[in-house]
Amino acid sequence: MNIAVIGAQWGDEGKGKIVDLLTRHVSVVARYQGGHNAGHTVNVGDAQFILHLLPSGILHPDVRCVIGNGVVVDPDALFAEIDTLAGQGIDVGDRLLISDKAHVILPYHRELEVLAEARRGDRKIGTTSRGIGPSYEDKVARRGIRIADLGDGSEGGPLAAAIRENVSARNRAVGGAEADWRVVHAEARAVWDRLARWVGDASLFLARAMEEGACVLFEGAQGTMLDIDHGTYPFVTSSNGTVGGICTGLGVGPRAIGGVLGIVKAYTTRVGEGPLPTELHGSMGDQLRESGREYGASTGRPRRCGWYDAVVVRYAVRVNGLDAVAVTKLDVLDALDEIPICTGYRYNGELLTEFPSNAAVLAACEPVYETLPGWSSPTAGVRRYEDLPPEARTYLDRIEAVSGVPIAIVSTGADRAETIVVRDGFIDRWRADAGVPVS
Ligand code: IMP
């Protein structure tokens, strides 16, 4: 049984750690959307790895990794990441396959994004400025450049024509010093020599690997609430991080997706602009940010912090068909006397229990809380559910009940080896179905 790992909030839920843990039981890890806007952090002993574009499975020497057609690839960022990993003793070698249909991010995408954000003024999205949105815009407008196009070495070929057109659009939009399309073209072509060895048909590779019995982990980036269709539009990223993105972003059928595991933080965070109903503006927000080290893994920006929002998670359960969730960062709540959980929203005097479609409505919603006692004792290092403080168990039981999804894993520390408690049968069933002996 293949497994999908999907962020059930606004990204930064701790997917990197959970993917890394589950990767012990799979032979292929595939990314299906997003780009190097992601920041998946994996701690192994004293070493910390931050993966932006490469699937987190790359840290396991026997695992093959796929970057699907639904991902946008900045070749410079890819090479920088491969080099950084090499410096940390991880050799990508031939374990990587990048879809020949994935679109590329070129320097003008980054420039256009900075310009677009500046023009939006106080309606800005707060993007990561990586050129992600403009690359997807080109894809949908059918003027994008795909990975395989970089292999076109001819002077007057389609790559040159596309770059010429796109750079002249950039020059019209940006003003000031003009970019020279010949320079952009030469740089794009130069990338190919290093990139070519990793480029291929990802859909075919996955089909053959699955035929041969490989177990695949589909690694989502960002989160459900940042999904271009199902997130808090327009304050979203430009791709489908929800489960449907797997089929379109990798060229696999829906039956390839065996189980779907959502990742939720024990509270809520968000980077960038847009509504966040349970946001804490005062010292409590600062306390969560500092104890949770809530600063963006990609941009270093402080994350906005708030209480656990069960309306959000219930919605993520629905749009992704989540079988279970992993709850991360429970230990960040250790010092609190009491902990509110948002169970609904008050909007125009009415109680909403379902997540609204409209960001303006969401922005006007007041969270409705129920408050649980804190446990005021450390949970870091606890490996068994039974050893958690009773109040922490009550908290987990309650978020499980109000979110409408079983909890399969509880993470109480950053390290791979730290405190994973398997409570629900989902992971064991998945391991058994995947042919992995249940330990
Ligand atoms: P973009 O993906 O750079 O276009 O940014 C769009 C929105 O998604 C912004 O609010 C970003 O802060 C947010 N975002 C993008 N990637 C991530 C991520 O990996 N984690 C959390 N937020 C993200």
Cα(222) to centroid(ligand 1), Å: 7
Q: What is the pLDDT of residue 439?
A: 42
Task: For the domain made up of 103-197, give the CATH fold.
Answer: Adenylosuccinate Synthetase, subunit A; domain 2 (1.10.300)
- Residue ranges per domain, the chain? 3-94+201-433, 103-197
Dihedral sign for Cα atoms in the order 225, 29, 81, 205: negative
Q: Are 340 and 307 in contact (CB under 8 A)?
A: yes
Cα(304) to centroid(ligand 1), Å: 13
Ligand 1 pocket mutation, candidates 37, 117, 235, 236, criterion most atoms within 8 A of CB: 37
Question: In this structure, what token pair is assigned to residue 414?
Answer: 């950053």
What is the DSSP code (8-state) at residue 357? S
Cα(271) to centroid(ligand 1), Å: 7
Q: What is the pLDDT of residue 438?
A: 43
Minimum-distance ligand 1 atom for the alpha carbon of 127: 5
Q: Output phi, psi for 356, to 5 deg.
A: -75, 155
Query: CA 6, 10, 16, 19: dihedral to nearest 10 degrees?
Result: -10
Cα(72) to centroid(ligand 1), Å: 14
Q: Please give the distance of CA 136 from its chain centroid, rounded to a whole number.
A: 16
Which residues are the active-site residues?
12, 40
- Provide DSSP, 410-425: EE-SSBTTS-EEE-SH
Q: Is 203 exposed, middle or buried (0-12, 13-18, 19+ CB in 10 A)?
A: middle
Distances (CA, A) of 81 to 91, 324, 385: 11, 31, 37
Q: Are 52 and 77 in contact (CB under 8 A)?
A: yes
- Which residues, given as ranges, of the chain have pLDDT below 50? 437-439
Closest CA to 223 of 2, 14, 1: 14
Q: What is the pLDDT of residue 21?
A: 87
Q: What is the pLDDT of residue 42?
A: 87
Strand order in the sheet with 96-99: 199-200, 96-99, 64-67, 28-31, 216-219, 3-7, 259-265, 324-328, 407-411, 420-422
Question: In this structure, what token pair is assigned to residue 377?
Answer: 């004792």
Write down the CATH superfamily of domain 3-94+201-433: Adenylosuccinate Synthetase, subunit A, domain 3 (3.90.170.10)
Spell out which residues line ligand 1, taking CB within 6 angstroms. 11-12, 37-39, 125-128, 130, 132-133, 221-222, 226, 237-238, 271-272
pLDDT per residue over 256-315, tens digit each?
999 999 999 999 999 999 999 999 999 999 999 999 999 988 888 999 999 999 999 999
